[in-house]
Amino acid sequence: MVELMLLGSMLVLALLALYTGPLRIAVIYFSVFSLICSFLYLYYQAPDVAIAEAVMGSGLITLLYLTALKRYRVYSVCYTNTDFPTVSDREIIEGTRKGELVREIEDFCFARELEPQLVFTPQPVSEVLQSGRHDLIIHQTGDKITIIGNRENYVIDELEMLLVLRYQDLKVLVERYGGSSEYGDDYLPEED
Amino acid sequence: MNTDSNETTELATLEQTASEELISVMTGLLYPFIAVFGIYIIYNGHDTPGGGFQGGAIMAALFLARFIVAHENDLEVHFVHNLEKFLFALLLIVPGIFVFAGLQIQFPELKIPYLIFMNFLIGMKVALGLTIVVYRFGFFEGR
Amino acid sequence: MRTVLVSIFVALLFAGVVFLYTVHGETTGVDIASYYIYNFAADTGAGNAVAAIYLNYRMYDTIFEALILLVSIIAMLHFFRAGGSK
């Protein structure tokens, strides 16, 4: 009975680790999988292997994966503006507080050793959302700025905290999209 | 870089430390227990389950926990590397004298000290080796 | 030329290892597993059969395992772009 329960939970955790979108959560599932694997070794009366599996599988390997995820390199940012068909670099760099926001995101990326890749596009935001290639989409209509982050990249959580702290005067809205939507609602663009 | 970006970096690190404080405190509390457990596993490896490799892996986790808690990058990689070579030389010489040259038949009272010493050698070697590997892959700045 | 020589040497080595493995004439009188189980405490003085095997009967295994760890660390320090020191 105990054996069947352990084996079944190992199967469930292996599938969860494979099919979870956000990688940080998948790594934690994998670490729990290793822990249950070590319990199973103990049940089969191999305490030597159980100790080694517990330390390596749920300790060192998890640590290695989490630090590797922190170094996820390229962070692609897409900037869409429905008011102007074309956006020049000058508008971003010399702009007022909104340009500062874009530069702030770049600085944020540099502080975390990410490589920001800025793309400007005249496409409507729904098309950009459907392509799903970007980690972060900055969408501006008139005065309203919406920042839509890909759920699979966990950097958006830290970025949201920063933007909420520093940009309360701008009407900045932080939304999520992509990944599996069980963690909250997707952002639906208004048609305009 | 101008002052604005410096402020941003400071703020970011501030938030990071705030969220990491929980992990730091808990790891600091667990630190002596992990140390005692690792040394116990190595020292009693010849009598109870465990041994050099398992205890060494626990000690490696201990050394890496230090880098998480203290945010220090002061591992002297070359020194540790040379120490590792020295340990490997000892690992060749000691069993070469004791097991292969047949000293264990003449001195049977040295068998248990030999086992404990070998477990300590293997434990130290595995601990240092795993520490270097995970440290270089995980924590090394820049690349 | 050098690579051809090296590959011929490796192939010969492989053939030799396989040949030696198949034609050796050694047999053990006692079943070796039960010998270890009944005699490890008297032979090595250990209380843990696993420790008795990897520190006495199968010492070469342990030595080469340690060598693999050392070689992997040397290779890692060698191939990393940053070199060895900070």
In a domain, B8, yes or no: no
Q: Report yes or no on A162 lying in a domain.
A: yes
Domain membership flag for residue B10? no
In the block, residue with structure tokens 């969860």: A16
Say whether A51 and B41 touch across the interface (CB within 8 A).
Answer: yes
Nearest Cα residue in chain B from A59? B61
Tell me which residue in A51, A68, A158 faces B49 most closely, judged by beta carbons. A51
Q: What is the pLDDT of residue B1?
A: 35
Domain annotation covers residue A186: no
Instruction: Provide the 3-class DSSP secondary structure of residue A112.
Output: coil
| pTM over the 0.90 mark | no
Where in the sequence is the domain holding B107, given as residue range(s)? 24-139
In a shared domain, residues A92 and A29? no
Q: Which residues of B touch A (CB under 8 A)?
A: 1, 4-5, 8-9, 11-13, 15-16, 41, 49-51, 53-54, 57-58, 60-61, 64, 68, 130, 134, 137-139, 142
Residue B84 domain-assigned?
A: yes
The sheet carrying A136-141 orders its strands as A115-121, A74-81, A136-141, A144-150, A172-177
Residues A21, A46 within the same domain: yes
Final residue of a structural domain among A70, A85, A117: A70
Same domain flag for A107 and A14? no
Instruction: Tell whether the model's pLDDT for residue A88 goes beyond 70.
Output: no
Q: Does one domain contain both A14 and A100?
A: no
Residue of C nearest to B139 (CA): C86
Chain B nearest C-alpha distance from A104 (Å): 7
Is some CB atom of chain B closer than 8 A to the CB atom of A112?
Answer: yes
Quick one: A90 and A145 in the same domain? yes
A185 assigned to some structural domain: no
Is residue A33 included in any domain, yes or no? yes
Q: Does residue B71 belong to any structural domain of this protein?
A: yes
A93 and chain B in contact, CB less than 8 A: no
Q: Which residue has the tokens 């990491």?
A: B20
Query: Domain range for residue A22?
Result: 2-70
The model's pLDDT over A113-128, given as tens digits with 9 standing for 90+, comes to 677 777 777 777 777 7
Using 50, 70 and 90 to split pLDDT, how confident is the model at A28?
A: very high
Residue at A191 is within a domain: no
* Residue A145 banded pLDDT, cuts 50, 70, 90: confident
Smallest CA-to-CA distance from C82 within A71, B78, A62 is with B78
pLDDT tens profile A46-87: 999 999 999 998 888 988 888 777 666 667 777 776 666 555
Q: What are phi and psi of B11, to 5 degrees?
A: -60, -40
**Contact between residue B86 and residue B124 where contact means Cβ atoms under 8 Å apart:** no
A187: in domain: no
Pair (A175, A80) in one structural domain: yes
Q: Do B15 and A63 touch (CB under 8 A)?
A: no
- Let me know whether A85 and A43 are in one domain: no
What subunits make at least 3 CB pairs under 8 angstroms with B? Answer: A, C
Residue A28 located in a structural domain:
yes
Residues A78, A63 share a domain? no
Neighbours of chain A (3+ CB pairs under 8 A): B
Question: What is the per-residue pLDDT for A192?
Answer: 45
Residue C14's pLDDT band, with cuts at 50, 70 and 90, is very high
- CA nearest to A53, candidates A33, A69, A67: A33
Q: What is the pLDDT of residues C53-84, one digit of tens each?
A: 888 888 888 999 999 999 998 888 777 655 44
Nearest CB partner across the interface for B118, out of C55, C72, C73: C55
Higher pLDDT, A190 or B11: A190
Domain count, chain B: 1
Q: Which residues of A touch B1 (CB under 8 A)?
A: 107
For position A90, what pLDDT does the model report?
54
Does the residue B9 lie in any domain?
A: no
Question: Does residue B116 lie within any of the structural domains?
Answer: yes
Distance between CA atoms of residues A137 and A128, nearest Å: 8
Task: State how far residue B46 is from chain A, nearest Cα, in angstroms.
Answer: 12
* A188 within domain boundaries: no
Distance to chain A for B33, nearest Cα, Å: 14
Give the model confidence (pLDDT) of B55-114 as tens digits: 999 999 998 888 777 766 677 778 888 899 999 999 989 888 888 887 878 888 888 889
The domain spanning residue A120 has which CATH number? 3.40.190
Contact A98, A83 (CB under 8 A): no
Tokens 């970096």: give the residue.
B9
Which range, A171-185, B61-75, B110-124, is most confident? B110-124
Do A86 and A159 reside in the same domain of the chain? yes
Question: What local confidence, expressed as pLDDT, does residue B22 receive?
Answer: 80
Residue B54 lies in a domain: yes
Q: What is the ipTM of this complex?
A: 0.76
Q: Name which of C45, C66, C86 is nearest B125 (Cβ-Cβ).
A: C66
Q: Indicate the number of domains in chain A.
A: 2
Are A11 and A92 found together in one domain?
Answer: no
Task: Identify the domain boundary among A54, A70, A86.
Answer: A70
- CB-closest option in B48, B78, B91 to C85: B78
Last residue of a domain, one of A20, A36, A70: A70
B50 close to A55: Cβ distance less than 8 angstroms: no
